[in-house]
Amino acid sequence: MAWSPDKTTVNSWNEWDPLRHVIVGRADDCHIPPEEPALDAKVPEDSDMRGQWGKRPQETIDRANELLDKFADQLRARGVKVDRPTPIDHSLPVTTPDFHTASQFGCMPPRDVLLTVGSEILEATMSYRCRWFEYLNYRPLMQQYWEEDPKFRHEAAPKPRLTDADYHPDYLSEKIGVEKRLQWAAEKFFVTTEEEPLFDAADVLRFGRDLVVQHGFTTNLKGIEWLRRHFPDHRVHTVNFPGDPYPIHIDATFTPLRPGLILNNPQRRLPDDQREMFHKNGWEIVDSAQPAHNQPPPLCYSSVWLSMNVLVLDPKTVCVEKSEVYQADQMDKLGLEVVEVDLRDAYAFGGGLHCSTADVYREGGCEDYFP
């Protein structure tokens, strides 16, 4: 269980304990995948991404890699060990007996694929066809960890079939409009059906004995039930954020910073009845600061709320994207030391600082924060 820089130990139970070992993604060969149901549902109707696909422009890949490399160096300078994935050829199609799509996505961001719970790293089912093989980018690391850490549990959730039955056809119409999307989100009617368990790892937040999981586009109720059965010693809680017309991944919506303190996106407020477990146990949920930008960068799937997609290094220190000045100011007022990281030009590759990383080792054990 003790950490050593020379030999991997996998151990991470929450989002805030001191970080000692992490994976940082790479932008190599990232693609904008062809149209497919779950991905299209996430792309806003007026987005510059609509209707185009293929390899991302090389200069944007180079720039994103430059920033990811610098981020990795910044973490190393703070004593965090950093591993990087081995990119596969993302131009290759994904073909199974059930579907075909002409290209893949990339090896960004790792947080979407890998869920670390204690000594286990679980490969998520994923819910986009173009991301079906994404776990392969991380297999060399998983093999290495398995060799080095006799307690490491390398797990993979059942690969989903991702037939058309996995997606509600209503979401495939060209012009749905934000009002309709908000109504559907409030009704918990999302693009994915309940055909089979689906989840992305980035829909899960770890609070020691408790896992908080967003039900939305990328994670369905069967996916949450699968997690519940897979982690029988955990309490698994389902949460929704009805103010989000494109609900994928919880980490630009709900961000725990330390025991007792969570940032919540003010446009995607956690409903009152779902706040109870936090309030009963003395946790404070505060509205996050506004993003510094009105628009995401070009060719970006994510919203401007990547502002709150921060990486907590320990309960007193947090990495915030350099241009997100309001978010940094709020962290400062909350008593956290802010480490500025320049990453905005990599946002288009799948997310911010939390998305771009996956935990390998944080100090500490499995605590019960909600007794």
Residues that bind ligand ABU (CB under 6 A): 202, 248-249, 251-252, 302-303, 305, 351, 355
Is 56 or 249 the residue whose CB approaches ligand ABU more closely? Answer: 249
β-strands 311-314, 204-207: how paired? unpaired
Shortest spacing between CB 297 and ligand ABU, in angstroms: 12
Shortest spacing between CB 302 and ligand ABU, in angstroms: 4
Is 10 or 126 the residue whose CB approaches ligand ABU more closely? Answer: 126
Is 160 or 351 the residue whose CB approaches ligand ABU more closely? Answer: 351
- 19 Cβ contact partners less than 8 Å away, ≥ 6 residues apart: 75, 80, 311, 312, 313, 314, 359, 361, 362
Shortest spacing between CB 232 and ligand ABU, in angstroms: 28
Identify the bridge partners of residue 122 per DSSP, sorted by sequence position. 115, 155
Two structure tokens written together for 314: 């320990």
200 in catalytic set: yes
Amino acid letter for position 264: N
Active-site residue (options: 30, 107, 319, 355): 355
β-strands 81-83, 54-55: how paired? unpaired
Two structure tokens written together for 291: 């993003």
Is 108 or 142 the residue whose CB approaches ligand ABU more closely? Answer: 108
Two structure tokens written together for 74: 């910044």
Is 20 or 249 the residue whose CB approaches ligand ABU more closely? Answer: 249
Q: Of the candidates 176, 220, 164, which has an alpha carbon nearest to the alpha carbon of residue 196?
A: 220
Dihedral in degrees, nearest 10, Cα atoms 47, 49, 51, 57: 150
Shortest spacing between CB 265 and ligand ABU, in angstroms: 8
- 107 Cβ contact partners less than 8 Å away, ≥ 6 residues apart: 25, 26, 28, 30, 85, 86, 87, 88, 90, 134, 137, 138
Is 60 or 302 the residue whose CB approaches ligand ABU more closely? Answer: 302
Cα–Cα distance measured from residue 299 to residue 51, given in angstroms and rounded to the nearest whole number = 11
The answer to whether the beta carbons of residues 157 and 125 sit under 8 Å apart is yes
Active-site residue (options: 83, 166, 200, 210): 200
Active-site residue (options: 234, 249, 354, 359): 249
Helix ranges (DSSP H) in the chain: 37-42, 58-77, 139-148, 178-186, 221-230, 272-280, 325-333
130 in catalytic set: no
Cα–Cα distance measured from residue 223 to residue 185, given in angstroms and rounded to the nearest whole number = 18
Shortest spacing between CB 60 and ligand ABU, in angstroms: 18
Residue with tokens 């131009």: 91
The answer to whether the beta carbons of residues 241 and 214 sit under 8 Å apart is yes
Shortest spacing between CB 142 and ligand ABU, in angstroms: 22
Q: Of the candidates 133, 298, 117, 148, which has an alpha carbon nearest to the alpha carbon of residue 213?
A: 117
90 in catalytic set: no
Is 18 or 44 the residue whose CB approaches ligand ABU more closely? Answer: 44
Positions marked catalytic:
200, 249, 355
